Amino acid sequence: MSAPQDLPRWADIGLIPLLNVLAALLVSGIVVAIIGENPFDAMMVMLKGAFIYKGSLGYTLYYATNFIFTGLAVAVAFHALLFNIGGEGQAYLGGLGAGIVCLLFDSMLPALIMVPLAILASAGFGAIWGAIPGYLQAKRGSHIVITTIMFNFLAASIMVWLLAGSLKAPGQMSPETRSFTRSAELPFIHDIANSIGLEMARSPLNLSFVIALLACVGVWVLIWRSRLGYAIRTTGHSAGAAEYAGIPVSRVIIITMAISGGLAGMMAINEILGVQHRTILGFTSGYGFTGIAVALMGRNHPIGIVLASLLFGALYQGGAELDFEFSTINREMVLLIQGLIILFSGGLAYMFNRPLARLLGLWLNPGKNIPTIGAENG
């Protein structure tokens, strides 16, 4: 999803997404003004609700953790020119894997073994759920978009069947498992901070945020510093050239989708091990689909994905504060703002590329005649 013309990498990753966000916020401000509210007041409330109020930053980072995992999942797949729409289902299956392992072993194993085992299970189940569409595309010619979408529905049906049946806690009506023991819980960040003498407000932010940042480092090393990453990027640029160079394209596609699914599956550790401490229905809450917008805005780079995740986390948390403070601004208005950001960062992603490329050309090469973008084509 890089720009179709020669922009500096820092401009493609930093300036273009920033301009897209500012344009979306400008349009959102106009909408807020039309309904009779001050857009600057609304913006201040959103910023305070996301970063300033007690515990708000923890909630923002908690939401951002989910977006980091699903954004990385989409980005890894796209580097091989695979559009993974199945993050929602892969996260669902990741939660199922983590839940099954916790139900089986949480009363027998200590936390130092139980938690890593549950994390591996979440990644493994997600990887399997991602590798199947990869195999279908590589070996059977099925379209990755269609299969991953359908696998979302399959995952949801499997979860309903299991949580309403064999995995449901005895004597309970709601479709969820029993609560896990403490050995299967990720510690909250505020508990860790308080234990070393740092005062921190309570929030659902837990150790999975650190794991998400480590995953970003791992993805960077994988894509840009490994032989497999080179094969993934080569396959994405030209599958024919990759095949001619001796790269096993079919195998690369399957492995890439497995890694993508594993990253999406790890989103479940934030919800299942970090917050809910049991497997429930609907814990994905659309994070898998929002991860597509996060990857778009972050230009499929881990640093960009972290920044985009922080933005969407702020929108989630700050939007709740907007809904509370303004009677005329409801949850649908917050969704409108999110939709505008997705529109400008996705559908209109290249709207500012032409003028920005020319402006940067004039700035970096003063006095030089800079041709307009696409002039070489006619």
Nearest to 65, CA basis, from 188, 236, 239: 188
**What's the 3-state SS for 169-223?**
CCCCCCCECCCCCHHHCCCEHHHHHHHCCCCCCCCCCECHHHHHHHHHHHHHHHH
Tokens of 259: 């890694």
User: What confidence score (pLDDT) does residue 3 get?
Assistant: 43
Q: In sequence order, what are the residues at sequence separation of 6 or more whose Cβ sits closer than 8 angstroms to the Cβ of residue 238?
A: none
Report the C-alpha gap between 226 and 236 in whole angstroms: 15
Report the C-alpha gap between 23 and 12 in whole angstroms: 16
* Span of 68-77, 95-104, 266-275, 346-355 with lowest mean pLDDT: 346-355
Q: What percent of the chain has pLDDT over 90?
A: 67
Classified as helix, coil or strand, 116 is helix
In this structure, whether the domain defined by 9-353 belongs to CATH 3.40.630 is answered with no
Model pLDDT for residues 190-218, shown as the tens digit of each residue: 999 999 998 899 999 999 999 999 999 99
Nearest to 308, CA basis, from 292, 297, 321, 324: 297
* Span of 9-13, 58-62, 93-97 with lowest mean pLDDT: 9-13
Taking the domains of the chain in order of start, what are their residue ranges? 9-353
User: What confidence score (pLDDT) does residue 374 get?
Assistant: 42
* Cα angle 334-336-339, degrees, rounded to a multiple of 5: 115
Higher pLDDT residue, 316 or 118?
118
Q: Please state the rounded mean pLDDT for residues 147-154.
A: 97
Site of tokens 């790269």: 247
Classified as helix, coil or strand, 69 is helix
Burial class (CB within 10 angstroms; exposed 0-12, middle 13-18, buried 19+) of 42:
buried
Tokens of 154: 């399959």
Model pLDDT for residues 123-134, shown as the tens digit of each residue: 999 999 999 999
User: What confidence score (pLDDT) does residue 365 get?
Assistant: 65
pLDDT above 70 for 376: no
Q: What percent of the chain has pLDDT over 70?
A: 93
Report the C-alpha gap between 134 and 5 in whole angstroms: 30
> DSSP label at 376?
G
Between the alpha carbon of residue 72 and those of residues 249, 277, 364, the distances in Å are 21, 24, 33
What is this structure's pTM? 0.90
User: What confidence score (pLDDT) does residue 65 get?
Assistant: 98
